[in-house]
Amino acid sequence: MDSPDVRVVGIWGMGGIGNTTLAGAIAPIIVVDDVNISSQIEFLVGNHGKHCGNRAFVTLITGGDYACGNPFAIKVLGSVLYSRSKEEWESALDKLEAVPKKDIQSVLKISYGELDDKEQDIFLDIACFFKGYDANFLERILDGCGLFAIIGIQSLIDKTLITIINNKLRMHDLLQEMGREIGSAKVEGIFLNTSEMKEIILSPEIFSQMHNLSPENIVILQMPNSQLEELWNGVQDLGKLIEMDLSHSKHLTKIPDVAHAPNLETINLEYCISLLQLPPTLQYHCKLSSLNLRCCSKLEKLPELSRNLKRVSFGRITSNMDSLKSLSLSACASIDMFPSLPKVLSRLDISGTTIKAVPSSVDELSGLVKFYLKGCKRLESLPTRIYNLKALTFLSLSVCSKLRYIPEISEPLESLRFLHLDETRIKELPSSIGNLKGLKE
């Protein structure tokens, strides 16, 4: 008992025989009751050597007021007090004295109060919206809001307020209930799971008094399969917006001007079959990396796009897009001219378009690895210079029903491994087919 090290005293006995009284007489600093599972002891005590010199006695009893006898509350409380000084333990226990008996939420709020403002925002976002979501998805949103996702999430893990299992965010039901109670004081977001809703009609007036709901705070806008014809009129301040997904919105005719969305990286308008136009200001988005317009059958042209675009799924693309790696024009029936493309392109899919010919300038695509022309039913020929694509490994010409031949291969080509010619009008392969040295199928 005279050791300067931390002394952990365990007292076990049935309730009502004086365990707590005895513990208080031996070590009057801290008494915690109803601790009867080893994991609870671990979270309360941990490496008790860290308290050497404090003579802090921790008495563990089966009985427990401060955590209301709740094992999870003990775990959370322990994570808050772990490695703290004797004075900090005493201060926390004084705080707990004011907690009404059996009020678990009040106990848990102590750990919430230990968070800084940004960590509290992250906690509330998870409790109200993102429990069960992919952690990487949440990081993108939090970083877009300036909340320093990685360090903030790790802090919540350290305090046992959340866990991540298989990259999914997990939170105890008691903590989620507490977070939603705190979050209800001010509405900053609305989450609607429409997967089981046949129809939902919202009037703009219902949001008129929700002043915390502001377009300038939107980071990711996801409304796939909507019945929207348009989003809003005029220009909105969308400084935090990084992703817009309106895919499969079959009635959408246009998207709003996004001139004030300088951080926009991704736009997905796939299968927006009524889409007629895009805003001309789209060309000024230097961070835009992915634009998906696949199967937008009524869209005939795009504004000029910036050189920073990395991925596009339809359009008349100019050759100054030095970062474009993958382009899909698949099933864009209005495309009848081969687009001008950047030399760094590695994957090109123009399947199902109405182009008649591939230009001889295709050999300028020196980095092209995969080339899809499947179902181009008006395609009649290929240029000989297509074999100048030394990086090409895959060429699909299946279902090109007007294609009668492929050009002679004048010199050996090692890279091409897959050449698909099924359902074409080709009756005989060129005599030089043996020059395709690497061909597998």
* Residue 364's pLDDT band (cuts 50, 70, 90): confident
Rg from Cα positions in the chain = 32
Is 433 within the bounds of a domain?
Answer: yes
Q: Specify if 323 maps to a domain.
A: no
Q: What is the pLDDT of residues 368-399, one digit of tens each?
A: 999 999 999 999 989 999 999 999 999 999 99
Q: C-alpha angle with apex 424: 423 to 427, nearest 5 degrees?
A: 115
Backbone angles phi, psi at 259, to 5 degrees: -60, -30
Statement to judge: residues 355 and 379 lie in one domain: yes
Residue 57 has pLDDT above 50, yes or no: no
Shared domain for 93 and 119, answered yes or no, is no
- Answer yes or no: do 173 and 195 share one domain: yes
**Whats the size of the chain, residue-wise?**
441
Largest CA distance in the chain: 101
Pair 122, 82 in one domain: no
- What are phi and psi for residue 433, nearest 5 degrees? -60, -25
Domains identified in the chain, total number: 3
**Are 265 and 287 in contact, with CB atoms under 8 Å apart?**
yes
- Return the sign of the alpha-carbon dihedral for residues 62, 65, 67, 72: positive
Per-residue model confidence (pLDDT) at position 280: 81
Whether residue 141 is found in the same domain as residue 180 = yes
* pLDDT value of residue 403: 94
Q: What is the CATH number of the domain that holds 176?
A: 1.10.10
Q: 0.85 cut: is pTM over it?
A: no
- Domain termination residue (choose one: 150, 184, 210): 210
